[in-house]
Structure formats: C-alpha cells, structure tokens
Amino acid sequence: MTAPTDPLRSREFRRALRGWFRLRKRDLPWRRTLDPYAIWISEVMLQQTQVATVLSYYEPWMRHFPDVETLAAAGLDDVLMHWQGMGYYGRARTLHRAAGIIVRQHGGKLPCTCDRLGEIPGFGPYTAGAVASIAFGEAVPAVDGNVARVISRVLGLSGHSSDPILRRGITEILKPVVPKKNPGEFNQALMELGATVCRPQIAHCNECPVSVMCTSRERILLPGVASKRDSRPVRTIPVLRWTAFLVPGGRGGFLYRQRPMKGLFSGLWELPTLERHYEPKGGLFLGEIEHRLTHRTIRLHVYRLRYLPRELAGTEYSAFRTPPAVSVLIRKALVLAEGTVRKVSRPSADRVIPGTLR
C-alpha cells in the first residue's frame, strides 16, 4: 500500500493531536497506570466491548486478579465467573492461558517488546503494539478499527476499517510516524479521536484537531453528514430458537452442564439445553427469553421439568445450588424461574421483562 504520508509526518499533526488528547481525553482507570498487566487486561476487555461496559468489569477484575501470578493460579471457572456477561468468552480463556505462559516462561513479567509479546497467545498485532507502546514506551503502531478509520480518512484511503489488509497497510505507514517520545500517548490519541470524534457513521469534523490536514473532510466527511466510506451493508440477523430446562439436582439446586471449549458461550455452564424448539410433555412453561448477540438472536423457551428429557440423557451434568459461571442468557432464565424480575448482578444491554425476557 502506498499513500501520501506528509500530513502524518508533519510536526503540526503530532502537536495538534497530542494537545487535543491532553485536554479532551476521557478519564479511564487504565490510563492512570503504566502497569503492563493492567494495560493488557484493559486492552483485551475493550476488544468487541464498549467502554461503558468495561468500566463495570475492569476494577472488580483488578481487585480479584491484581497481577499475572494471581490470574495464572486461578481456576478457569473462577476466571469465567468474573468475565460472565461481557461476552466473547474466548478472551477470558486466552487470558488465563497466556498468564500461565508468562509466569512459567517469563518469570511473571510481560515481555517488553512488541515482537516478544506477539509470541504469547492472544497478543495480536494491535494488542502487542498497544501494550508495548503504552507500558514500555516502544515506538510501534497500535492499529485498531478506530486508528484505521482515522488514518484512512486523513490519507484518503479506501476500504473498511475492519479490513485486515487495510490495517496491515496502515501499520506499515505508521511505523516511521510513531514518535520515539511518548509513543503510547500518540497511539492512544489516535484511538481516542476515532472513538469520540471521527466515528464510523458521523464524523464531527469541526471538533477534530487535525481536520485541516484531512484529505476526506471536504469530499466525504462534511460536518453532520454520514460517511459512506466506512459503512457496511445492512445484514439480516439470524434468529435461533432454543429450549432450556430447569431440572432439580438435589439440595435445592439445578442441573448444569459445561459447554465445549470452542463455539458460542464456550467453556461456560448452562442449564440442560436443546439448540432447537422443543415442547416437553408434562413440563411447566415459564416463558420466553430473547437475547441479542452481535451476529444472531436467540429465543429461548424455558421449562421446569422433574426429569431430564430423553434427548438430553447420557450427558454429564452437575448439580449447583449457586449458579456457576453462566452466560447472561442463562442468568435470564434463572431470573425467570425465580418468578420475579430483578436486576442481574452484571450489566446487560438487554432489558428483563416478565413472561418474555428481552
């Protein structure tokens, strides 16, 4: 990929970007530390999760797992329990696995370079660049979707900010641009600009500190006008119809089983569930739950039964009085079973309504 890089190399670009960031940056807890572990945790949590949601999880996580040694020594169920509700649970399992490697192979210290971080599971180019630049001061790019969008607009590049080819090209463009002094601040300023001003559909160019150097401002991103450059076609979200059963498991608890370590809700526990619509004989219908995920919607019919359906016999189950690490979907089913509507212990983007939970 070739592109004019003069705007990025100019002293005015860096000065304007940094000055804006120091005045307008959001006060976020992970920006108050240079602890590599804390920065790593925040970067992983922020993948596919909004800042407002991460704020509810980050500090409780850091209190429970204050360092990489504590995380590595914890059981996976404990890790998943403190992650539940944030989604994309593979991130939590990879964090746990990576913590073990860091303890065993690196003496409990995160490697201090982007290349060495990249050898650890879960450290892709963006995460490695972010931790290396912010925590260790290495002058390397950290290109996420926000940074890719900002740079592609400034330079007039085509393509969507999620395109891996575009991101790799922008990473190469930024390698000679990232300053040796405070590279982490430079990277965070680009991220912040994309997150708060140069947004996907609406670019607030009048608030942008580098708009006078932006190739796209007059041609595409007029103030208050939606950008066609970074838009995607509308997709139809598939609806999955599942059925879950609350079956007594002794001592006032219910039966649960652990989902496979790959796939949807991987590694979490669930009530006995059929991933299809099913009407059992003799069951008490409790209601329907609608749970929206990024790429699909699940409509879950919930029944109370005395015994497992024949279709689920032969699977290994465990009885718990207190629910283990479960997804928000299953927590909604448990709320429904209680016969009252209450706020769940972790925040969810979905509302809880009697009878039909949405």
With tokens 């607030």, the residue in question is: 204
pLDDT of residue 266: 84
306 closest CA partner among 330, 332, 280, 287: 280
Contact 293, 316 (CB under 8 A): no
Q: Is the pLDDT of residue 4 over 70?
A: no
Amino acid at 334: L
The per-residue pLDDT for 350 is 35
Residue 170: its pLDDT value, please? 94
- Give residue-wise pLDDT tens across range 80-123: 999 988 888 889 999 999 999 999 999 999 999 999 999 999 99
How many CB atoms within 10 Å of residue 261? 11
Q: What would the DSSP string read from start to end of 46-93?
A: TTTS-HHHHHHHHHHHHHHS-SHHHHHHS-HHHHHHHHTTS--THHHH
314 or 235: whose pLDDT is higher? Answer: 314
Instruction: Label residue 214 exposed, middle or buried (CB < 10 Å: 0-12, 13-18, 19+).
Output: buried
Structure tokens at 334: 């448990």
Of the listed ranges 65-69, 149-153, 342-346, the least confidently predicted one is 342-346
Contact 90, 266 (CB under 8 A): yes
43, 138, 185, 270: the active-site residue: 43
Give the mean pLDDT of 135-162.
93
Nearest to 56, CA basis, from 65, 48, 46: 46
The answer to whether the beta carbons of residues 1 and 175 sit under 8 Å apart is no
* pTM reported for the whole predicted model: 0.77
Both tokens assigned to 30: 């992970």
Cβ–Cβ under 8 Å, residues 177 and 199: no
| 55-89 pLDDT per residue, tens | 999 999 999 999 999 999 999 999 999 998 888 88
Element (H, E) at 239: strand 239-246
Using CA atoms, how far residue 25 sits from 17, 192, 196, 299, in Å, is: 11, 7, 9, 40
pLDDT at 5: 54
At residue 349, does pLDDT exceed 60?
A: no
3-state secondary structure of 249: strand
pLDDT tens profile 179-209: 999 999 999 999 999 999 999 888 899 999 9
Task: Give yes or no: 43 in active site.
Answer: yes
